[in-house]
Amino acid sequence: MQYNNSASYGHFDDETREYVITRPDTPYPWINYLGCEDFYGLFSNTSGGYCFYRDARMLRLTRYRYNNVPADAGGRYFYLRDHAEDEISGYARQDVWSPSWMPIKSKLDRYECRHGLGYSCISSARNGLAFSQLSFVPLKDNCEIHKITLTNETKVEKNIDIFSFVEFCLWNANDDMTNFQRNYSIGEVEVEGSAIYHKTEYRERRNHYAVWSVNVPISGFDTDRETFLGLYNGFDHPQTVFAGAANNFIASGWAPIGSHHIEVPLKPGESKTFVFVLGYCENSEDQKWESLHVINKAPAKALLEKYNSAEAVDTALAELKEYWDKLLSRFSMQTDDKTLVRMVNVWNQYQCMVTFNMSRSASYFESGIGRGMGFRDSNQDLLGFVHLVPERARMRILDIAATQMSDGSAYHQYQPLTKRGNNDIGSGFNDDPLWLICGVAAYIKETGDYSILDEQVPFDNDQALSDSLFVHLKRSFDYTLNNLGPHGLPLIGRADWNDCLNLNCFSKTPGESFQTTANYESGIAESVLIAGIFAFTGPDYAEICRRTSRKEEAERAEKAIAAMIETINTHGWDGNWFLRAYDAMGKKIGSHECEDGQIFIESNGFAVMADIGINDGRAIRALDSVKEKLETAYGIVLQQPAYKEYHLELGEISSYPPGYKENAGIFCHNNPWITIAETRVGRGERAFETYKRICPAYREDDSKLRRVEPYAYAQMVAGKDAPRFGEAKNSWLTGTAAWAFVSITQYILGIRPVFDGLLIDPCIPPGIKSFSITRYFRGAVYKITVDNTAGVEKGIASISMDGKVLDNKILPPMEEGSIHEVMVVMGSSKN
Ligand code: BGC
Ligand code: NOJ
C-alpha cells in the first residue's frame, strides 16, 4: 500500500461544507450521495458506485457488485493514457492510470476527493497531468454529470487519451445478478455520434433507456465489456486502454457497457474540459421509436443539449449549491465548539435528507434490492427532515399511511416505485403503527398544517378502503390497545423496533427468515418498549384530537395512556431499570433475574422520554443503570450481558456473535433516546456526553478503527464484547441521523416545535456559556441567542422576543416573512 504513512484520511472544510479526503485508500470506501429527488447516485471517493432512477432495485442504470474483490469495484471510471515517443531511443512509451486511483491504483502525485452537498470532486495528478472530476446530479434532470478537466502542468506537449467506462445494469438489479441464462442474451445498445444508448428490454415492455455521452466528438467507442476489458482482465487492466484504440464494437447480449475514447493533445499549461452525461430517459408508448428498432432519442438529445458545455454545468452546480444554502439556512447554530456546529449545521441535516430519500434501501451496506422503504424507518426519518422540506414530508406521510392495513397494522416495508407493501415481509411488527402518529405529530408541530388529517388515504393501497388520515391515526392508536397481552402490555408480534427480538419465531431451520417466521404464535409475548412508545407518542394523538374538536376521543386516549403508564409501573419495572419484554413463556427479558440480556437500552430510553419515573426518582435510577452497565467509550451498547448462546425463544438477537448488531452492539439509533431521556431529568452534561460519543465528527481521529465515514452516522459500532470493539458498520442509512438531530436540536439546544409554536427548553452542559440559533419556523425566522453565563444545565430565567418579555417558553408563530430577535437567559427557572 502506498499511502500508509499518512496519519489521517482527511478533514472537514467548514467554509465550503465539504469533507476533504486526502488519500484514496480510506479504511472503507467513503461515499457521498448524488441526487435530491428522483435520480440518485452513490459515489465513493475513488469514483466507485452506481446510479438509479427512483428505485435501486427496479430501475438501476449501472451495475455494481457488492461484496466484491477488491472492494468497491465498478463505478464511473475514466482511464487516462499518456503516450509519447522516447526522445532518446525513439521508442513509444505509455503510461495508463486511473485518476480516481481505483481501479488501476497507480501512484498519484496528488489526490483529493471533496464530498460536498450533493456533489463530489476528485482531483489528482500524475507525471504533470492534472485531472479533476466534478460529479453531481442536477436539480431538475434525471442524470449524473461528470465534468472532467485535464491540465498539462509540464513544459512539454502531452498526448493524452481518455477512455470513459460505465457498465450498464439490465435495470432490475436482482435479476441482473442472478438470471444469467437470459441476461447474457438480451443486452442491446445503439451508438449515434458521441452518445451510447443502453436499450436492453426497450423493444418489449420498457419505455426507458439510458444514455452515456460526452460533449465532444470521439475517436471511438466500446459497448461490450469483454471486448473492452478482455475476458480474463479486471477493471484494472482494460486491454483496449493499453492498446490505445477503441474497438467500435456494438454489443449484442453479454454485458453492455459504455466507453468513449477521446484523444486530447495538450500544450504546456493547457487545460481541456469535457462534460459526460449519464441519463435516464422515458418515452410514451406511441413515441418509442424513431424508425424500425431505432429508439426515439429526442428526450436524450434535449438532455444532452442542455448540458453541452462547462458553463451550463457550472450553472447547474451553482443552482444545486443555492438549493442547499437555502435548505440549511432553515436551521443553523453558532457556538465555540466547531465540531458541534459542523455536525448540526451541515452533516447531520445532510444525512437526514439522505435517510429520508433512501430509507434503508441503498448504501454500501444495503444492496438496494432487499429493503425498499421501511414503515417505522420512514416515519422516524421524517423527524430529522420535516423542517427542511415539509411538503415532501407531507407526501411521504400519505404514501406510508396508504400501506397501513384497516386494522391499524402495517406493511413493514414498501417499494418506492410501486408504493405497494412488500408481501414477502408482510406485517405484524407491532410497533409500526405508532410511528405513524409520531411522524404525523412531528409534521403538524412543524407546520401547523392540520389539513393533512383530512386527506383521504387508502388502507392497503385499496382506494375502496380510503378514510381520512385522522382515522389512520386512530387505528394506529387502537392497534396497540387491541393487542395487549396478559400483563396488559402491548403484544410484540413479530418484533418491535428491535427487529431481532423475535419472540414468536422459534426458528431451527438454517436460512429461515427471523423476520417472517412465526412458528410459535404464543399470543402472549409482550413489549415494554411498545408500551413506552405508546406513552411517549400517545399524548400527541390525544392533543391532536383535542385540537381538532374531538374532545371525547382525546379523553379516551388520555385514559388509555394513563392506564398504560400504570401497567409499565406495575409490570415493566425491574427495581433499578425498566424491563424489556416478556417472552412466549411469560418469562422476563431485560431483568436482573436473567442470565444474559439483563438490561436493555430501548425500553429505558423510551420510558424516560415519556417522563415515566421522573417524579419518584426511578427515571434517574434507570439512566444511572444504563450508564453503569451499558455505556462504553464509543457509545451505549444495546444490552448486557451479551447473549453467549443461540436462544430459540429470542430469535435473531442471539444469533449474532456477542458485541455485534442487536446482540450488545452499540446500536446508534437508540443512543439519542438516552440523550433525550437525560434532558428529561435535567442532566445536560450527561446528555451532551452521550450525544458526542456516537457523533461521527467527534470520532474523526478514530477513523482507522472506526473505518466508515467521519461525516455520517453509522447504524452500528461493535460493542465491548466484540473483538473489533469500536469498529463501525452500516454507515448512512440509519434512524440515528434523525434521532441524533432531534436530540441535539430539540432537547439539548432545546428549540422544539410544539403544537403552539417553538418551545425553548435547552438542557446543556454548564460549560456551554452561549449559543445562537437561526430557525425558520412556519414562515417566520427566529434569531435566538441563548445566554448561559449562569452556567446551569437547565432552566430559563427569562425569554424576550423583539425586546418584549414573554410569559411562557413558547415562541408563537409569527407573520410570514417576518424576522424576530429572541433573547433567552438561562438560570433558575421563574416558571
Ligand atoms: C438486522 C436488523 C434489521 C433486520 C431486517 C437484521 O438482520 O440485524 O437490524 O432490521 O435484519 O432487515
Ligand atoms: C434496522 C431496521 O431498519 C430498523 O427498522 C430496526 O428498528 C433496527 N434495525 C433495529 O433492529
Cβ atoms of 459 and 466 within 8 Å: the answer is: yes
> Cα dihedral sign for 688, 694, 697, 702?
positive
> Which pLDDT does position 43 carry in this prediction?
98
Each residue's pLDDT tens digit, 392-439: 999 999 999 999 999 999 999 998 888 888 888 889 999 999 999 999
pLDDT tier at 4 (50, 70, 90 boundaries)? very low
Atom 4 of ligand 1, residue of closest alpha carbon? 499
Q: Is 503 in the pocket of ligand 2 (CB under 6 A)?
A: no
Q: All 3 cell numbers of residue 167?
A: 457498465
Q: What 3-state DSSP class applies to 94? A: strand
- Segment (H or E) for 299: helix 298-306
The verdict on pTM exceeding 0.95 is: yes
Lookup result for grid cell 430469535: 651
Please tell me the distance from the alpha carbon of residue 257 to that of residue 63, in angstroms, as a whole number.
10
How many CB atoms neighbour CB 804 within 10 A?
A: 8
User: How far is the centre of ligand 2, averaged over its atoms, from the C-alpha of 738 (Å)?
Assistant: 14
**CB-facing half-sphere around the CA of 317: CA atoms within 13 A:** 18
- Side chain identity at 727, as an amino acid letter? E
* Mean pLDDT (whole number) for 208-228: 98
Which regions of 536-669 does DSSP assign to beta strands (E)?
581-582, 588-589, 599-600, 631-632, 635-636, 639-640, 666-667
Atom 10 of ligand 1, residue of closest alpha carbon? 499
- Side chain identity at 8, as an amino acid letter? S
Q: All 3 cell numbers of residue 558?
A: 388520555
User: How far is the centre of ligand 2, averaged over its atoms, from the C-alpha of 669 (Å)?
Assistant: 9
How many CB atoms neighbour CB 268 within 10 A?
A: 12
* Mean pLDDT (whole number) for 17-25: 98
| Alpha-carbon distances of 523 from 484, 516, 586, rounded to whole Å | 9, 16, 10
Atom 5 of ligand 2, residue of closest alpha carbon? 377
Ligand 1, closest atom to CA 515? 5
> Which pLDDT does position 422 carry in this prediction?
87
* Mean pLDDT (whole number) for 675-681: 98
Per-residue pLDDT at 5 exceeds 50: no
Which among 541, 644, 665 is positioned nearest to 596, based on CA atoms? Answer: 644
Ligand 1, closest atom to CA 360? 12
Q: All 3 cell numbers of residue 594?
A: 436473567
Pocket of ligand 1 (CB under 6 A): 499-500, 515, 652, 661-662
Q: Is 377 in the pocket of ligand 2 (CB under 6 A)?
A: yes
Residue in 431, 496, 499, 574 annotated catalytic: 499
> Which pLDDT does position 7 carry in this prediction?
63
Quickly count helices (H) and strands (E) in the chain. 20, 44
> Cα dihedral sign for 412, 413, 419, 422?
negative
Mean pLDDT for all residues in the chain: 97
Which among 467, 469, 384, 459 is positioned nearest to 427, based on CA atoms? Answer: 459
* Mean pLDDT (whole number) for 2-14: 75
How many CB atoms neighbour CB 140 within 10 A?
A: 12
**Angle, helices 469-482/390-401, rounded to nearest 10 degrees:** 50
- Side chain identity at 42, as an amino acid letter? L
* Mean pLDDT (whole number) for 41-60: 97
Atom 5 of ligand 1, residue of closest alpha carbon? 499
pLDDT tier at 370 (50, 70, 90 boundaries)? confident
> Which ligand is closest in space to the CA of residue 652?
1
User: How far is the centre of ligand 1, averaged over its atoms, from the C-alpha of 171 (Å)?
Assistant: 26
The best mutation among 603, 655, 666, 669 to test binding of ligand 2, ranked by most ligand atoms within 8 Å of the C-beta, falls on: 669
Q: What is the percent of the chain where pLDDT is above 70?
A: 99
Please tell me the distance from the alpha carbon of residue 454 to that of residue 696, in angstroms, as a whole number.
40
* Mean pLDDT (whole number) for 699-723: 98
Torsions phi, psi for 399 (to 5 deg)? -65, -45
Per-residue pLDDT at 831 exceeds 50: no
> Which pLDDT does position 229 carry in this prediction?
98
Cβ atoms of 190 and 294 within 8 Å: the answer is: yes
Q: Is the peptide bond before 217 cis (omega within 30 degrees of 0)?
A: no
* Mean pLDDT (whole number) for 702-713: 97
pLDDT tier at 97 (50, 70, 90 boundaries)? very high
Residue 764: partners with Cβ closer than 8 Å, 6 or more residues away:
684, 687, 688, 748, 749, 750, 771, 788, 793, 794, 826
User: How far is the centre of ligand 1, averaged over its atoms, from the C-alpha of 500 (Å)?
Assistant: 7
User: How far is the centre of ligand 1, averaged over its atoms, from the C-alpha of 594 (Å)?
Assistant: 24
Atom 11 of ligand 1, residue of closest alpha carbon? 499
Which among 469, 459, 602, 475 is positioned nearest to 528, based on CA atoms? Answer: 602
Please tell me the distance from the alpha carbon of residue 288 to that of residue 294, in angstroms, as a whole number.
9
pLDDT tier at 830 (50, 70, 90 boundaries)? low
Q: All 3 cell numbers of residue 170?
A: 439490465
Per-residue pLDDT at 521 exceeds 90: no
- Side chain identity at 583, as an amino acid letter? D
Torsions phi, psi for 663 (to 5 deg)? -90, 70
Annotation marks residue 499 as catalytic: yes
Please tell me the distance from the alpha carbon of residue 630 to that of residue 411, in angstroms, as a whole number.
33
Ligand 1, closest atom to CA 499? 10
- Segment (H or E) for 742: none
> Which pLDDT does position 1 carry in this prediction?
39
- Side chain identity at 578, as an amino acid letter? F
User: How far is the centre of ligand 1, averaged over its atoms, from the C-alpha of 689 (Å)?
Assistant: 28
Residues in the chain: 831
Each residue's pLDDT tens digit, 726-751: 999 999 999 999 999 999 999 999 99
Q: What 3-state DSSP class applies to 814? A: coil
Cβ atoms of 734 and 355 within 8 Å: the answer is: yes
Ligand 2, closest atom to CA 360? 3
The C-alpha angle 705, 710, 714, rounded to 5 degrees, equals: 80
* Mean pLDDT (whole number) for 666-694: 98
Sheet of 208-214: strands edge to edge? Answer: 10-13, 18-21, 110-115, 119-126, 129-136, 143-152, 271-282, 208-214, 195-198, 189-192
Each residue's pLDDT tens digit, 259-275: 999 999 999 999 999 99
